[in-house]
Structures are given as structure tokens and as C-alpha cells.
Amino acid sequence: MSTLQEIKPVPVALGGARGGPRARTLRPGGWGTEKWVTFSVLTAFVVYSTWAAFQNGNFYVGAGQHRDLISPFYSPCLTQTCTQGGGGGLTLHWWTLSPALLILIVPGGFRLTCYYYRKAYYRSFWQSPPACAVADGHDRYTGETRFPLVLQNLHRYFWYLALIFNVILTVDAVVSFRLPGDGGIGASVGSLVLTANAVLLWMYSLSCHYCRHACGGHVDQFSKHPVRHRLWTLVTPLNARHMQLAWASLIMVALADGYVRLVASGVFTDPKIF
Ligand code: FES
């Protein structure tokens, strides 16, 4: 192992090398575990969500099973192919592929540009750097100053769009407590799954670093902005849990799609609670 004296400070400069000679680190072993766990879970999610997005079927459970459940990957209904799930007013007749391919642009872009996920996939996929205090896996470091990474600056706009999707998925969760056909009210495991999904997506969005900035950024004196200070104090504890909420909401949205998909395809019946 290298000693502290052998490690010379290496300046970080755009366009230059970062972190000195490769694989040089004073960190003891074990720091690579998190990287591989991140790599595995993100890869599994991307594979599953891509597969689900191309299915273009089994995304809605309707009156046939006396339930009103729609997969979050296919909501809002945008195309003619998903009118069975409602949303006819938004139908895009010219789109003939799976509607999820359109819908997932917003949540996908939101997560792809998320500050936490950037750290996660820069480390686990791109090795830049593999971990704190570990030399970069590449000879040159260009930061996020040019295409395509300069597009990461779109994150704040994706945040606003993601809030719209959160409202839509919250409506889906509320509607799942309505029993199609007789207009009654009821709950099932599926309605709880969609509710948990909506709650986690709100918590993830409200814990966003941009959200915290939007609430309390560019304020010199909180005493002159009590409302913004209040909002900032509300989202700051969530912001401290942003990584956990990012993972929980990611896994939950895949589980919600999987649950609706299994019920819609007849693998099992959505258990009724009342
Ligand atoms: S920083 Fe992660 S969602 Fe905004």
C-alpha cells in the first residue's frame, strides 16, 4: 500500500487528469462493494423497465376484474393503444408504438439527471471516480461542461415536469379505491401498492436538491422570507434522505408495474381488503 508521503496532491482541472496514477488509493479494501451493488440494481431496473415499456399490454386492470389499477409506466394514457385505461382526451393518435416509450421520457430524464443518481452511475458505470479518494478510471476529466453531460443542467426542468406526473399518479392511486362498475369504494393490495408508489415519488421529488434550492436558494435573510424559510425547513430533512428515497421510489415503481402486470395478465387476483 502507498504511504501518505508517496501521494502527491494532484490538481483537479477540466481537460486534465484527475486523481493521479490509476488505482492509487490509501483507502482500505471494501470500498468497491457499494459500486457493484449500485451497478447491479441499476442494471436490473433498466433491463426490467425497458422490457416493460415495450410490452404495450397488461398495464391496466379494469372492470373485468372489478379493479381500477394502471401501471405507473403507462400513466398518463397518451395514445390510442391505452384508451382501455382511460385518458381518452389526451390520446395521441399518431403514436403507434408503446405509450410507455413516450411517458417514461420525463421520469427517466428526471432520474438520469438527478444529482444522486449522477454520483451513483458515474462511480459504478463510468468509474469517474470509482469512489471517494480513488483515482479516476480515465485519463482525462472534462466534467459536465460539454455535450452530452452538459444536458444534466436540465434537471431543474425535469423536476417541474415530474411534479405533474406525481399529481397524475396520485390521482391513479385515489381512483384505485373506486370500484369500477358499481361506483363503490373499496381497497385492495393493488390500491395500497399504487398509493405507496405515489407517496414515495412525492417524497423523492420533494427531497430533490433542486427543490431545496427552489425553496430556500438565493435568500440572504430568511427573516424576510418566512414562507420560503418554512418550505426550506420542511424539505431539508427529506433532502438529507435523498439517496434512500431515490432507491426506495425506484424499486417501488418497478414493483407497482410488476404487480399490475401480474394481475392484468391473470397470474393472480388482486386481494381485496374491504
Ligand atoms: S437531485 Fe435527485 S431528484 Fe433532484
**Residue 1: pLDDT above 50?**
no
Find cell 453531460 and name the residue.
149
- Cβ of 210 below 6 Å from ligand 1: yes
Give the separation between CA 13 and CA 239, rounded to whole angstroms: 29
Whole-angstrom CA distances from 123 to 21, 113, 132, 150 are: 17, 14, 9, 18
Cis peptide before 76 (omega within 30 of 0): yes
Whether 204 is covered by a domain: the verdict is yes
The count of other CB atoms within 10 Å of the CB of residue 222 is 13
* Residue 8 located in a structural domain: no
Q: What's the structural domain count of the chain?
A: 1
Nine-digit cell string for 157? 426542468
Q: Determine, yes or no, domain membership for 203.
A: yes
pTM for the structure as a whole: 0.88
Q: Is the CB of 157 under 6 A from ligand 1?
A: no
Instruction: Answer whether 228 contacts ligand 1 (Cβ < 6 A).
Output: no
Alpha carbon distance 128, 97 (integer Å): 36
Q: Does a structural domain hold residue 1?
A: no
**How far away, in angstroms, is 100 Cα from ligand 1 center?**
22
Which pLDDT tens digit goes with each residue over 206-252? 999 999 999 999 899 999 999 999 999 999 999 999 999 999 999 99
Q: Is the CB of 208 under 6 A from ligand 1?
A: yes
Domain for residue 190, yes or no? yes
Residue range of the domain that includes 230? 32-264
Closest atom of ligand 1 relative to the 162 alpha carbon: 3
Give residue-wise pLDDT tens across range 9-21.
555 555 555 555 5
12 alpha carbon to ligand 1 midpoint, in Å? 25
Q: Determine the average pLDDT of the residues in 27-52.
A: 93
Contacts of 31 (CB under 8 A, 6+ apart): 25, 130, 131, 132, 134
